[in-house]
Structure 1
């Protein structure tokens, strides 16, 4: 693999520094830099980028930074810094877009269900903007739908995972025969099978609504963005000098 490349090193350093700052000033950092639902009062436009540098815990950042180093280094060596950074942030934005889009669907579905039960829309928005909700809503539309509705509005997204999934897809394209291992399945698996297996897990958990505390659709969004870019670049055979 060779030495750690410059962009990977700088991304890793920034992520670690922001993680330390988050431990020191957790409430402020999470409020300002996590990705909130657009109608939440905490939402700011810069969060579509800053959430990529936020992490929810030690294992979260360790996993993401290890993957950034292990899979990002050979890609930057192959592409160069500028193309790698373009790919990384584009995958992260793709993750934010799909995650927000799914949250929008979930939120609007719950909101419309309450409106159909005769609850005033403005009253609902005022209540949830104040960090509260009515227990009567559970009887109206069901606890599961209320929980999903409130989670979409109140739970911010953090982490580089969406960008990392784009990196994983690119690695599977570029080094399809490389053998990798899962912690819970300690046998070598070729990258062209390993990465789709991870994505399949996110699809299953995402569509079944299993509560894992992980933004599965952000992972899928990053993977889709990574796939589109790799397919386009392969088809058009971009000149490396274009990224210098």
Structure 2
């Protein structure tokens, strides 16, 4: 249920911001303003707005695909909805910390989208089901345990290359958080992960 609520709010706010630059400016992640003006809400609100319908659709489809599975798994493990929301919003915040520090003196830097949070959800699903299939380029099915490292290497490569207006740092750190978070909740899960091999 939480996944569907997050999707609904994200779709509504994203569409509102498509035609409202003032609202967009108030919700986007802007490290300079976050620190200088104590606008800490931006660490969360940026995840509810997107650049265009394609950006929104890809993120929400990925969230729906993996979020419902993880939300159900968290209920089964006793982590509940609070545990799931901790994964989603924790991933969103952790994914922003690198740029919060690096870009704190750049008044022009902006970042939007739920990609950090969704990377966290995706990588938690890999943690629970490492041999589950993930569609590479939405076409080629590969096991999550292979997709994960390739994705992390790709994020680092694209971050160094730059120039595509995608926050690859957020993807990377959100993904790392998604692997660590279940272990923080229940350290014995590391044995369940290793037993898959």
TM-score bracket, shorter-length normalisation: 0.7 to 0.9
Q: Kindly indicate whether residue 92 of structure 2 is the aligned counterpart of residue 99 of structure 1.
A: no
- Distance (Å, rounded) in 2 between the aligned partners of 1:199 and 1:49: 23
Q: Corresponding residue for 1:167?
A: 121
Do the aligned partners of residues 234 and 193 (structure 1) sit closer, same or farther apart at CA in structure 2, a change above 3 Å counting?
Answer: farther
Contact 2:32 2:103 in 1 (8 A): no
Name structure 1 gaps, 5 residues minimum: 1-5, 108-151, 238-244
Q: Which residues in structure 2 correspond to 1:24-35 (within 5 Å)? A: 24-25=19-20, 27-35=21-29
Aligned length, in residue pairs: 183
Q: Corresponding residue for 1:51?
A: 46
Q: Corresponding residue for 2:150?
A: 197
Ranked by relative contact order (alpha carbons within 8 Å, sequence separation 6 or more), the top structure is 1
Q: Following TM superposition, by how much is the alpha carbon of 1:175 offset from its aligned partner in structure 2, in angstroms? A: 1.2
- Distance (Å, rounded) in 2 between the aligned partners of 1:209 and 1:99: 16
Q: Corresponding residue for 1:222?
A: 174
Q: Corresponding residue for 1:37?
A: 31
TM-score scaled by length of structure 2: 0.85
Q: Kindly indicate whether residue 17 of structure 2 is the aligned counterpart of residue 7 of structure 1.
A: no
SS of aligned partner of 1:199: helix
- Distance (Å, rounded) in 1 between the aligned partners of 2:33 and 2:47: 20
- Distance (Å, rounded) in 2 between the aligned partners of 1:42 and 1:215: 23
- Distance (Å, rounded) in 2 between the aligned partners of 1:221 and 1:99: 11
Contact 2:18 2:52 in 1 (8 A): no
- Distance (Å, rounded) in 2 between the aligned partners of 1:153 and 1:226: 30
SS of aligned partner of 1:59: helix
Q: Kindly indicate whether residue 77 of structure 2 is the aligned counterpart of residue 86 of structure 1.
A: no
Question: Which of 155-164 and 78-87 deviates more?
Answer: 78-87
- Distance (Å, rounded) in 1 between the aligned partners of 2:38 and 2:115: 20
Note the aligned Cα RMSD (angstroms).
2.0
TM-score scaled by length of structure 1: 0.69
Name structure 2 gaps, 5 residues minimum: 76-80, 190-197
Do the aligned partners of residues 178 and 236 (structure 1) sit closer, same or farther apart at CA in structure 2, a change above 3 Å counting?
Answer: closer
Do the aligned partners of residues 158 and 43 (structure 1) sit closer, same or farther apart at CA in structure 2, a change above 3 Å counting?
Answer: farther
Contact 1:33 1:47 in 2 (8 A): yes
Q: Following TM superposition, by how much is the alpha carbon of 1:92 offset from its aligned partner in structure 2, in angstroms? A: 0.5
